[in-house]
Every structure is written in C-alpha cells, then in structure tokens.
Amino acid sequence: MDNHRVDKFIKNPRKALFSLAWPIALGMLIQALYNVIDTIFVGRLGAEAVAAITFSFPLFFFIIAINSGIATGMSSRISRYMGQKKIKLAENTAMHGIVLSIIISIILFIVGYLSLNSIFHIFGADQAVIPLAQSYFRIILYGIVFMFITFTTFNVFIAQGDTKTPVWIQVFALLLNIVLDYVFIYVLEYGVSGAAIATTITFAVSMVFGIILIKTKSQLQ
C-alpha cells in the first residue's frame, strides 16, 4: 500500500475505514444481484422458468462463498506483506491466489456438472423444472473460472487499499448483464439458457478488465 494511503488511514481511521468499506459492500451487493436480475427477466417466461432460476440460487451463493473465502484470505496476506514492504512476497501471494482459484473453480465445475441432476432432485425440483435448472446452471458452470479469476483480481486491488477500481468494473458488468439478458432471453429467444449465457459473458468481460487493470494500474505485477 503506498505511503499516502497509510498516512491517510493513520490520520483519520474512521473515515478511511468507511472509504474502504463502502465499495466492498456495494461490490458484494452487485454480485448477489446477478441472480436477481436473471429472475426478473426470466419472470415473463413462466413459473417453471422462475423456479429453475430459484433452485440455482443456493448453488450460486455456495460458489460465491468459496470464491470469497479464497480471495479474502489472499488479500489479507497480501496486505500484511505490503505493510512490511515485502512486495515480491505480496506478488507471489497474489499469483498463488489466482492459481488456487483456477484449480478450485475447475474442481467445482467437474463436481457440479456431474452431479447437477442429483442436486436438484435433493432440492425438491420436479421433473418439469429440472431440465431448465440444469440448462441454466450448466452454462453458469462454464463461466465459473472467469468468475473466480475476476473476484481474485478484484481482491488484489482491495489488498492495496484500492476498493473503488473493482466496484466500478462490477457496476459496468451489472449494466452489461442487464443488456445481455434482454438480448439473449428475448431477442435471440434462448429463454432460461439466455440468462446464463449473459451472466457468463459478463464474468468473462469483467475478468478481461480486471487483468488489464492489474497490468496498468496495480502496484503488484
């Protein structure tokens, strides 16, 4: 973390904590809104389509929880190293965090893809809803690597005291998701699958922006 941020924090800790915390809280809200927006757009397709999205909620938030755990642990360690001026160790931690997130996302993809039918049965979905839920969440699983890398790169910025860069990317991504939902669900008529395609594309775009900004704006390389 550069000196002016440290000095600012020491001078007024309460104000500094608030300026760091509100973008993180907003970012978490935005991440949770992906499913809500999908549900709003899918709502016009009928009750079974809404049910399919609803049954996917617990899986989606489970993935977010694991993603957040990896990213938060990584950012905590990076912050400590940067406070000690050990930049190389901080960069090494960031790289390990990204690699770990990729490995975990691949494992979750494999397990999820092979067990979706059983999971939705356990959740109590009926036979009319399960195919729709599977078609939606399988596409979400295709984007899980993008999602994990994106959230990890965001936390590299957060660890440096820059909480605003990630949230502006997330705001842009959320607006993009709204546009793509309309295009894929109604214009291209992909239905429930269209909502998942839109979300997956949004994750991919967010990842690209995150990587570009890591290259151009981050103190850690």
What secondary structure does DSSP assign to the chain, as a single string?
Answer: --HHHHHHHHH-HHHHHHHHHHHHHHHHHHHHHHHHHHHHHHGGG-HHHHHHHHHHHHHHHHHHHHHHHHHHHHHHHHHHHHHTT-HHHHHHHHHHHHHHHHHHHHHHHHHHHHHHHHHHHHHT--TTTHHHHHHHHHHHHHTHHHHHHHHHHHHHHHHTT--HHHHHHHHHHHHHHHHHHHIIIIIS--THHHHHHHHHHHHHHHHHHHHHHHHHT-S--
Position of tokens 């059983």? 118
Mean predicted confidence (pLDDT) in 1-28: 62
pLDDT in the model for residue 13:
64
Question: CA–CA separation, 7 vs 171, rounded Å?
Answer: 29
In this predicted model, what pLDDT tens digit does every residue of 119-147 receive, in sequence order? 888 888 888 888 888 999 999 999 999 99
Question: CA–CA separation, 143 vs 173, rounded Å?
Answer: 14
Is residue 33 scored above 80 in pLDDT? no
pLDDT in the model for residue 123:
86
pLDDT in the model for residue 1:
46
- The number of beta carbons lying within 10 Å of the beta carbon of residue 177 is 25
Mean predicted confidence (pLDDT) in 98-115: 93
Question: CA–CA separation, 90 vs 95, rounded Å?
Answer: 9
CA dihedral over 158, 159, 162, 166, signed as positive or negative: negative
Q: How confident is the model at residue 8 (pLDDT cuts 50, 70, 90)?
A: low
Is residue 9 scored above 90 in pLDDT? no
